[in-house]
Structure 1
Amino acid sequence: MSTFGLRQQARLRREYLYRKSIEERNAAMQQRKDKIKGALQDGKEIPTALQKKAIGLMHAGDWDDPGPQLAVELGGEAAGGTTNIDDEYRWAGVEDPKIIITTSRDPSSKLKQFAKEIKLLFPNSQRMNRGTYESKQLIEACRSNNVTDFIVLHETRGNPDAMVISHLPNGPTAYFNLADVVMRHDIPDIGTMSEQYPHLIFQNFKSKLGQRTQNILKYLFPVPKDDSQRVVSFVNWDDWILFRQHTFRKVDGGKDYELQEIGPRFSMKLYRIILGTVDQEGGADTEFILRPYLNTAHKRKLLSDDDPW
């Protein structure tokens, strides 16, 4: 990449981070306003932490119109503003995702096979041999070819145990542990892999972290057609995301349906999200990190209960 291209990329990245910081600051201010407004309307005492700021906040904006400041909290549509997710997944549903899948260096035969099956899982995806390429080189090539997501699969002693999903051009990047990986050829009575765009099922992603994780996974898939008979499910159980894939068909023309698993199957556990791409791991801000040995009372059900952030 030329010096001009590097400077342009750095400038775009700075502008992107600046917009995100403004959104987060406005969202935090709006939340404080709403707490004060709610206390006044209910005739309750203003929270102690906000009493000194109450007068200044009252003069900072219109109480009756949340405006774009609440976009992060309301999901963008209700407030009419631009959220972090809207900015990162601006063309989601308008343009189909374009995905590159690769592995860590010197992959085992089992990891290569798993990468092939993941390639079949995501429509419009391509598998690329890692070779000796650095992450930075791969990310630059993906940006140049309008790739929307870059997925890296890792292993330990021949067993696939990690997946990194990096959204391009600016992130976020999500890191998942993998467990209980079962290949298609290890599932008895396996069905034929369908190439239809799948319908998606997400269960028990209720917190802000859960919604964030859902969006990272959801936008890897294009919008399916109504008559698609392929279903991909992500079920959150105790912060492990259980992945399954099925096809379905009507039984004897009635109202009952028969499910046929087509694999693969595995479990995912989110342990980190950074506000950048995978090649910026050391310099990007950390949006979420799992600390299993700290805050014991709040470490359970991060994806389904109240927001852990």
Structure 2
Amino acid sequence: MLRRNIRLRREYLYRKSLEGKERLLYEKKRKIREALEEGKPIPTELRNEEVALRQEIDLEDAHTAVPRSTIDDEYANAANGDPKILITTSHNPSAPLTQFVKVTRHDIKDKKAIGTMPEAYPHLILDNFSTKLGQRTANILKYLFPVPKPDTKRIVTFANQSDYISFRHHIYEKRGGPKSIELKEIGPRFELRLYQIKLGTMDQDEAQTEWVIRPYMNTTKKRKFLGD
């Protein structure tokens, strides 16, 4: 296990070091594409590399034209199998590896009416994660759950409003036919707030912090980080 962790750390750091080079190469090819599309001369600084770059451009498709990053690789194979989840919690938001802070929680009181808690994989509703950080957060939440069956009646909702993420848990029934749907909340319900996203594996002390909430962000009420 120790050797494997060392190997994974080296691979991650190596991929990270390549990102700057790939981004520079992407910018060069982008300038050549624009010049060709607009009928303009090739930029002077790229004329010595034009032939090689145009050969690479001809071989690219929609998946290879844009450089990938270590963030993109994180969920690259998520659809090939059920995710392996490790969830950590802490009463201290500044504790290492904490990603979300649980703000409030409310349990449904009428537990007898709920009945047995379903264990089927749920359908997901991810609402108002429109920014780049919001889409990143939505991916983190989405891949906590395996792919559900089409006929499952369990629904989990993550709804963002003013950077507070509301969790809701429902089931539905079609008692009056396909056009009559009865939605029942089975709880629990709670609010989350994104605290931190770190790059790398959990045992990497040197992993970079991709995003973290800062004290001054609490006063920027007009600015939304996750969505509209």
Query: How many pairs does the alignment contain?
Result: 223
Equivalent residue, structure 1, for 2:213: 290
1:266 corresponds to 2:190: yes
The answer on whether the counterparts of 2:167 and 2:189 sit within 8 Å (CA) in structure 1 is yes
Q: CA RMSD in A?
A: 3.8
Higher strand share: 1
Larger deviation, residues 284-293 vs 61-70: 61-70
- Provide the rounded CA distance (Å) in 2 between the counterparts of 1:248 and 1:17: 46
**Given residue 165 of structure 2, which amino acid in structure 1 is its aligned partner?**
I
- Provide the rounded CA distance (Å) in 1 between the counterparts of 2:90 and 2:39: 56
- Provide the rounded CA distance (Å) in 1 between the counterparts of 2:109 and 2:94: 20
How far is 1:151 from its partner? 0.8
The answer on whether the counterparts of 2:174 and 2:182 sit within 8 Å (CA) in structure 1 is yes
The answer on whether the counterparts of 1:181 and 1:264 sit within 8 Å (CA) in structure 2 is yes
Equivalent residue, structure 1, for 2:90: 154
**TM-score with structure 1 length normalisation?**
0.59
**TM-score with structure 2 length normalisation?**
0.77
- Mapping for residues 215-254 of structure 1, pairs under 5 Å: 215-254=139-178
How far is 1:198 from its partner? 0.3
Larger Rg: 2
Secondary structure in 2 matching 1:153: coil
Unaligned runs of 5+ in 1: 73-82, 98-147, 165-172
1:17 corresponds to 2:13: yes
After superposition, the Cα gap between the structure-2 partners of 1:54 and 1:213, relative to the gap in structure 1 and judged at 3 Å, is: farther
Secondary structure in 1 matching 2:146: coil
2:73 pairs with one of 54, 64, 87: 87
Secondary structure in 2 matching 1:61: helix
Secondary structure in 2 matching 1:273: strand
Q: For each residue in 1:122-148, what CA deviation from the matched residue of structure 2 results, as whole angstroms up to 9, or x when unmatched?
A: xxxxxxxxxxxxxxxxxxxxxxxxxx2
Larger deviation, residues 35-44 vs 187-196: 35-44
The share of aligned pairs that are identical, in percent, is: 47
1:178 corresponds to 2:164: no
Unaligned runs of 5+ in 2: none
The 4+ residue runs of structure 1 with deviation greater than 6 A are 161-164, 296-299
After superposition, the Cα gap between the structure-2 partners of 1:163 and 1:283, relative to the gap in structure 1 and judged at 3 Å, is: closer
Equivalent residue, structure 1, for 2:117: 193
- Provide the rounded CA distance (Å) in 1 between the counterparts of 2:94 and 2:173: 33
Secondary structure in 1 matching 2:99: strand
